[in-house]
């Protein structure tokens, strides 16, 4: 989601909040590294959330992160597009 207040108001089962533009909760079109990072974070939250209604805010900034580097660090230096 892109609005923490809305996520809390809607009582979502779990919510991952990113400071991205409305309509772009998974990232920029064509930016597969950014989309993969967000997807991995969402799947990790699904498996690790302990409380119903848990909402986490991620620190990523729209188009200001090196998502390829984030993926490489997560996957032991493997290149993006894993």
**Residue 60, helix vs strand vs coil:** strand
Give the pLDDT score at 56. 93
Residue 17 tokens read as 């909040």
Residue 62 scores a pLDDT above 80: yes
Beta carbons within 10 angstroms of residue 50's beta carbon? 5
- If you compute the radius of gyration of the chain from its CA atoms, what whole number of angstroms results? 13
What would the pLDDT profile of 28-43 be if each residue is shown by its tens digit? 999 999 999 999 999 9
Give the pLDDT score at 63. 82
Please provide the average confidence, as pLDDT, over all residues in the chain.
88
The pair phi, psi for residue 44, each rounded to 5°, is: -65, -40
| Selected residue with higher pLDDT from 70 and 11 | 70
Rounded to two decimals, what is the model's pTM? Answer: 0.81
Give the pLDDT score at 53. 87
């Amino acid at each position: 989601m892109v609005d923490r207040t809305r996520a809390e108001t809607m009582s979502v089962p779990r919510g991952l909040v990113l400071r991205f533009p409305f309509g772009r909760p998974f990232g920029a079109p064509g930016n597969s590294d950014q989309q993969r990072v967000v997807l991995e974070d969402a799947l990790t939250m699904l498996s690790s959330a302990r409380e119903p209604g848990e909402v986490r805010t991620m620190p990523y900034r729209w188009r200001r992160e090196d998502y390829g580097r984030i993926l490489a660090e997560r996957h032991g230096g493997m290149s993006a597009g894993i």
